[in-house]
Every structure is written in structure tokens, then in C-alpha cells.
Structure 1
Amino acid sequence: MIISKAKIDKSGKALAYSSELTEEILELEEIFDLYRADHLEPLSNTTLELQQWLHGYGSTYYIAQRLKRKPQIIRKLKRLSVRLTQLQDIGGCRIIVNSNRDVNDLIGFIKQKVSTGSSFKLLKITDYRERGRDITGYRSVHMILSMAGKSLELQIRSRIQHYWAESIERTSVIYGHHLKEQEGDKAVIEYFKELSDVFYEIESGREPSIQSKISLDKLRIQAQKLIETSDKNRVFDSFVNDDIVKTLTSTQGVSESLNNWIIVFNWNTGIFTTWEEVGREPSEAVRKYIYYENQFTSAENYEVVMIGSSDIATVRQTHSHYFGIEKFDNILENLDSTIVGFQTRMDIDVGARQILGVLQRRKYWGKKGISIDTLRNHFLKDLITIESSLRSLRDKGLINMADSQSPVSLNIKKKSEIESYL
């Protein structure tokens, strides 16, 4: 089905600015969905070609793709006052490498590969690393590619640039403001800007000044107070147990081909609601994507994303903001730095915290226990990491649980520690 450019742009304008639901709006939404869907096949082919090149690259990397979420597209149309056909990042691919130097090497590597023949064209390179893209401090290299008549965006980031981007992404949802779009309190935006600048100095081999570290620390304290006020469910300093990724990896493994997954994340509780494999076939994958977007809306604080990769474990790296903000000492392990990050308590996952909450509210302490089946079927139906979360609580001595068939209760000797998590 061939759709005119004017009709496509009209669909984008209708979704961005129309508040009434009419027959025409519904028809235009179908056109919008079809236009977005048309990016998936060119995107997948581009990602596969890049992946094949990277096999011979010789350095550590992570690669994944995503089809841009509808709420993001609509916000961008409004924010930039552009037409839908002008957007160049509806289909996007991301590559993460270890260092800023590796980013430089990879840019040269890709340019050389394109010059010797590829199925896509390299239209433009925009380097946001030296100054940052805007007042938020976003740093990355963006390559605009053209494949089968569709513009696609390739982002290349170092590990530390990616850490910053994922941190601000997670913070934005919990805080309730799109920080990368310059929404929210000035102190929070300024903190991330200064953090990005300090990271850039470190990656460039320069030690940040004492003054910049002191300024950053003051902003960090201010920003964290503002964020914590918005974080009613303590999602910010929680993380999601990796058990779901390990399970999917063990059943699906790694392949040379590409697969797509629909991920539904509930930001109200900080847990995955759904993680479904939808395959490579574009029309079926996008049909499922639209279905989940309609079922789990952004207005209700759900995030629905379709991610493509040859290895499901890659998603843990490329979209880490769903799993929790990594500790600074992990990110800066190879750098001589004394930068302090947000103070978080991340030694139990969010599922484990939910279990503690249920047991405390229901007064299951000491000898008074509850069966795991009852816990799962009556109180924690949506918790897909219940087994691994229970094991982590048992290993920390916070619950009494002899084995997977035994009743569960809170360890009364750890009462003060348990309450500190809640």
C-alpha cells in the first residue's frame, strides 16, 4: 500500500494535536502505524549488516535496535514542530563500546565499510561528544543512514556516555519530567549536565577540578532530594532481578539472525509486566507492538518498547535503565575517579522489596508463614521473578524459607533491616 507523503504528515499532525477521537483520526492513526511499521524491515537488515561487520571489528561491543515508541514520536513532533516524514530516528540502532577512543575507531571502521560497498548509505554524522547536544549534556555520535528509502539513526556511545543516558532516562520517568527534553527543575537538569561534562573530562584523560567536583556534589544532593519526593514507590533505588534475562538466554541462546521482543515495563512498581518474543516478520511484530501500546498506555505509566537483537542478554546492556542504575564504582572501575553518584540502596531487587512489603503488611513473621503458591497466586500475580527474588531474600537472611516447598515468613531478628527497605 503506497501512502502519499502528505497523508503521512497529516497523520502525524493529527496524532500530535487532535484531542477528539473521530473516524478520520482513527484512519490517520492506521496510516501512522503503517508508516512506522515500514521502517522495521530496513532497520533489521541494516542492523544485521552492521552486526556482520562487527564480527571482524576486534573489540567489545553491544548492538541492538528499536522501533521508536509512539508517545516519543508524538512528543518530538510537538517539541520540534516538524512533520512526521522529517523524523530520521523512527528506526534506530545503538552500538555501545568501551571508551570514547573506541567510538572514534568504530566511526572510522563504519565509514570505511560503507565506502567499499554496503546496502545502506551514510547521509550524515553528528558528533555531540565535545560540547553535548544541549543544556542537558547528552553525548553520543549519531549517524543518519538511508536504507530502502527510509532514514534510520545509528547511535554510537562509549560505556560511560551510555551510563549517563540510561541514568537520565530512568530518572526522568520516576521524577515525572522528560529531562532530556529540558523539562523539570533546573537543579536536576544542571546536575546531569555537569555530570556529563565531568565524565567527558575523565574520558578525555583530564582530571576534573576540585571546584567542579564540589559543584557537582552540591547539585547531586539537591537533585536527589527532588527526585525522592516524586518517587512514591521507591523505584529509583531498586533494580530488577536478572533472572528473566538468564531464563530467556538459556531457552533462546544466541544466533546470527535477528529477533524482536516486546517489553512492557510498569514504572509504577518498577517491574516488567510482559516480555514476549514476536519474531522477525515485520507485519506481525508491529501488530503485536500496537496491541501492547493500546493495552498498556503511557498515561498509566507503562512503557512499551520493541527491541531487536541476536542475543537477548544484550538488552541488559543496551536498555539498562529498566534494570536499575548501575553503581558508579562499576562504571568507573577502569578510571581514576572519585566522582560520587546518587546514593541508592540497591542490594535487593524490586521484586524482593515487594515480597517484603506483602509479608510485613500481612504480618507473616517468625513461625507464622505463608506458602509460596499463595504468595504468588493471591498477592504477587504480576511478579515474574518471584523465585529468584525469594532466593535473594533467603540468602540475605531476611526471610525464613527452608526450600521451595516451605512456608515463607520474615526473620524477626532482621526486623530493623527489613523495615529500612520499606
Structure 2
Amino acid sequence: MKLSKSKIDRAGVGLAKENYRDADEWIEYEYILDEYRKAHLQPLTETTLELQQWLTGYESDYYVAQRLKRKPQITRKLGRLSVRLTQLQDIGGCRIIVEKNADVDRLLNFIEQRVAEQSSLSIDKITDYRDRGRDVTGYRSLHILLSRGGYKLELQVRSRIQHYWSESIERTSVVYGHYLKESEGDPAVIGYFQRLSDAFFELESGREPSAKERLEIDELKIQSEAIIAASEKGRVLSSHVNEGIIKTLVEKETRNPNPINNWIIIFDWSTGAFVSWDIVGRSPEEAMDAYVRNENLYPVDKDFEVVLIGSSKIATVRRTHSHYFGIETYDNVLENIEESIIGFSKRMDIDVGARQILLKLHTKHFWGDKGVATSTLKNHFCQNVLTFDSSLEVLLQKGLVYQNGPNGPVSLNIKMRNEVEQYV
């Protein structure tokens, strides 16, 4: 079905403003938006593959991945800004993470040279938010607006520290329940991230934040943590990278060797845990069918987030979309600025799945000699813990639980009661 611009824009307005005659018209608008999103996937994938091919000759470390903008983000943006659906320039997006801010400039020059050598891809506009930060939030990144086959695509290029900040505020926004990058929420929380971004910029520029600046950021952090802790989901903010998740995804990836795999990742922000992850087809039709189906099954108003991400390696997605996997603290940041200034990035030493196992054992009073069969714990009490095996291994290594034999009964370690109580 050929979609005209007017029909696409009318669907965008109807969904953003919830303005439709009846259920049939709403279904039609949803279909049009999904078809319009789908049309971006092929040119986006071609662009990502081309970028990857170019970057094989690039002499610094980088990570690259693509994503189609989620439906709630699209409708919210249309409702917030005076813009039509066909005017949105970031429905198809690609992200490249490099080591340092200076590498962003080098990569921009490199990409400009390569684009000039061919005709299928063009650069329409370059917007640099790095020096001053965008608006009051402090967001920093280089945005390159590309065109391919009549579709606008957005390429974001960031340093590791800029990306770390962006992923931190993304995770905090979901936990807090306010879109901080859109200036929603308490000014203290927004101010914390703005000042943190400024401090990171100073570090990347070779300048140390002053003692006064550090103290002010630390005070904002304390205020912000209290505000976040008061929210219902405050504990989800603490993050731990579960290597078991990465291992499972890599195993799936090796069974599907492709230049780019499309992944559907479903995350439950109410628990801070994955619901599902799977490789879907390379074709736009197959990928979008899975995307839309899962968006309907796991709605955003129930705290689910469904995302379609494309990458040549799942380990790259861990870097480019780290707020799903747990945000690591970068050593090169901590070497230059006290850990207290990092605030929300502080790592927990067990993952969400491990905490869920502990909580279940604790509420069922499985201590010491009173254990529960591993199979019962996994398949009955913890059937929704996708990382059960790796999470249980973490608990065993820390001595928080006992297991009588490889598949024997599991119970909490009485000698570690105080530690267990702190986790649950």
C-alpha cells in the first residue's frame, strides 16, 4: 500500500494527540506508523553495513549499532514538538562510540571523506552538541543527518564518557518516571546530570574540575539520590553487568552468522530484568512483524520496553545500549574524579536475577539445612529469572547460598545472614 505524506502525517497527529474517530481509525493509524517505520529499516541497515565496511580501515577502537525508534518515543516527540511525522529525522538511527572526544572529530573527517567518494549516501546536516551541551540537561554528542533512498537517518557519534553519561540519564529516566533528557523532573536531578556532563567535558578537555565544582555536584547527587530513592522503582537504578546474559546472546549469535543481526530485546523496568531477547529476520517485514507484535504484548504503560537493535556483534550492543545490561563504571573516569561524583553509576556486585533468587529463598525461609531442589527453585519459584544459572553461580561464589552437589538442594547461608538481609 502506497502511503502519501499527508496520510502519514495525519496518522502521526492522530496517534500523538489521541485524536481518532473510532477503533478502526486508530488501528489504521497504527498500521501506517508501523509501515512508515519499516520503510526506514532497509536504508538504515545498508548504511550501517557501509559504515562498518569503511571502519575496517579506521585505526582506533569503535562500536557501531543501529536501532529503529520506538513507537512511544515517536508519538511523544510529535506531541511535544511542532513537527510532522514525515519531518522526523531520527526514526532510523545509528550510533558509533569511540574512545575520546578528539576521536569524534577524527571520525567525522573520516566519514565526510568516505561519503564524498560515493553517491548513495549524503550528509544533509551536522549538529555538534559537545562544547556547550544541548539545552539544560547537558546532553553531548555529534549528530550527523544522513539521506539514503529518500529517507532521513541520524548518526550519533560519541566518546565513551559522553555515552556513559547518556546511558546513565536514560536508565535514571525510566527508574524515576520522568524524561530527564526532555527536561522533565525535579530541577535538582536535571541539574545533577547537567553538572556531571560539564565535569566530564572538563576532564576530556584536559582540565580538572575544581574542588568547589566537585562539592556542588556531590551535593546535587545526594539530593537527587533521595528523590530517586523515594520513587517506587528506586532500587532498579543500581546496575550490575550480568555476564551470563552476554554469554547466552553470543551463543545465539554464533548460530546465526550474518553481517548484521536484528535483535528484539524486551526489558521490564519494574524489576530491572530482561523478559526476552531473540534474533529476528534480516528482512524488514519479518523484523517489523516481530517488533510490532512484541510492542503490543509488552506495553510501555506496564513498564516494558521493547527495542529493535541491529548489530554485527551482540557484544557491541552491550556497549551501545548498556543501560539494559547494567552500566559499567569506566576506570578512566574514576581515575580523575572521585567515585562519589559518579552517583548513579555505582555498581552493585550482584545482578537483578541473583537478587530475585535471594528474595525467593528468603521469603520461603530456605536457610541452612532446609533447602529447596535446584529444579524446583528454577522452574517454579524463579521461572521468570532468565539468568537463573549464571545468577545462582554468582551467589554460590559469594557464599551467600549453599548447594549440596551440582544439582542438589539450595539454601541460604546462615553465617551470611546480615549480608543476605542487606541484598533483599
Give the shorter-chain TM-score range. Answer: over 0.9
- In structure 1, the residue matched to 2:287 is 285
| Residues 267, 301 of structure 1: 8 Å contact kept | yes
2: CA distance, partners of 1:153 / 1:235:
30
The secondary structure found in structure 2 opposite 1:321 is coil
Quote how far apart the aligned CAs of 1:313 are. Answer: 1.2
- In structure 1, the residue matched to 2:393 is 391
2: CA distance, partners of 1:411 / 1:57:
51
| Residues 160, 331 of structure 1: 8 Å contact kept | no
The yes-or-no answer on 1:192 pairing with 2:219 is no
| Residues 240, 347 of structure 2: 8 Å contact kept | no
- In structure 2, the residue matched to 1:365 is 367
1: CA distance, partners of 2:185 / 2:253:
41
Q: Which amino acid aligns with 2:12?
A: G
- In structure 2, the residue matched to 1:40 is 41
- In structure 1, the residue matched to 2:298 is 296
- In structure 1, the residue matched to 2:86 is 85
Against the structure 1 CA distance between its residues 118 and 19, is the aligned structure 2 distance closer, same or farther, given a 3 Å change threshold? same
Q: Which amino acid aligns with 2:261?
A: N
1: CA distance, partners of 2:164 / 2:215:
21
**Which is worse superposed, 241-250 or 252-261?**
252-261
Q: Which amino acid aligns with 1:394?
A: L
Aligned residues: 420
The yes-or-no answer on 1:114 pairing with 2:89 is no
Compute the TM-score of the two structures, normalised by the length of structure 2.
Answer: 0.96
Against the structure 1 CA distance between its residues 232 and 113, is the aligned structure 2 distance closer, same or farther, given a 3 Å change threshold? closer
The secondary structure found in structure 2 opposite 1:417 is helix
Compute the TM-score of the two structures, normalised by the length of structure 1.
Answer: 0.97
Q: Which amino acid aligns with 2:62?
A: Y
| Residues 246, 313 of structure 1: 8 Å contact kept | no
2: CA distance, partners of 1:354 / 1:45:
41
- In structure 2, the residue matched to 1:414 is 416
The secondary structure found in structure 1 opposite 2:222 is helix
- Superimposed CA distance per residue, residues 260-296 of structure 1 (whole angstroms, 9 cap, x where no aligned partner): 0100000011111010110211001001100000000
- In structure 2, the residue matched to 1:311 is 313
- Superimposed CA distance per residue, residues 63-115 of structure 1 (whole angstroms, 9 cap, x where no aligned partner): 00000000000111011121000100000000000000111100000001111
- In structure 2, the residue matched to 1:17 is 17
- Runs of 5+ in structure 1 lacking a partner? none
- Runs of 5+ in structure 2 lacking a partner? none
Against the structure 1 CA distance between its residues 171 and 137, is the aligned structure 2 distance closer, same or farther, given a 3 Å change threshold? same
Quote how far apart the aligned CAs of 1:32 are. Answer: 0.9
- In structure 2, the residue matched to 1:73 is 74
2: CA distance, partners of 1:372 / 1:312:
30
- In structure 1, the residue matched to 2:167 is 166
The secondary structure found in structure 2 opposite 1:23 is helix
2: CA distance, partners of 1:251 / 1:353:
25
Runs of 4+ in 1 over 4 A off after TM superposition: none
Q: 1:260 aligns with which of 246, 259, 262?
A: 262
2: CA distance, partners of 1:197 / 1:24:
47
- In structure 1, the residue matched to 2:247 is 246
| Residues 133, 139 of structure 2: 8 Å contact kept | yes
1: CA distance, partners of 2:84 / 2:17:
12
2: CA distance, partners of 1:124 / 1:210:
39
- In structure 1, the residue matched to 2:6 is 6
2: CA distance, partners of 1:361 / 1:64:
41
2: CA distance, partners of 1:56 / 1:174:
40
Provide the alpha-carbon RMSD of the alignment. 1.5
Quote how far apart the aligned CAs of 1:25 are. Answer: 1.8
- In structure 2, the residue matched to 1:217 is 218
The secondary structure found in structure 2 opposite 1:134 is coil
| Residues 328, 347 of structure 2: 8 Å contact kept | no
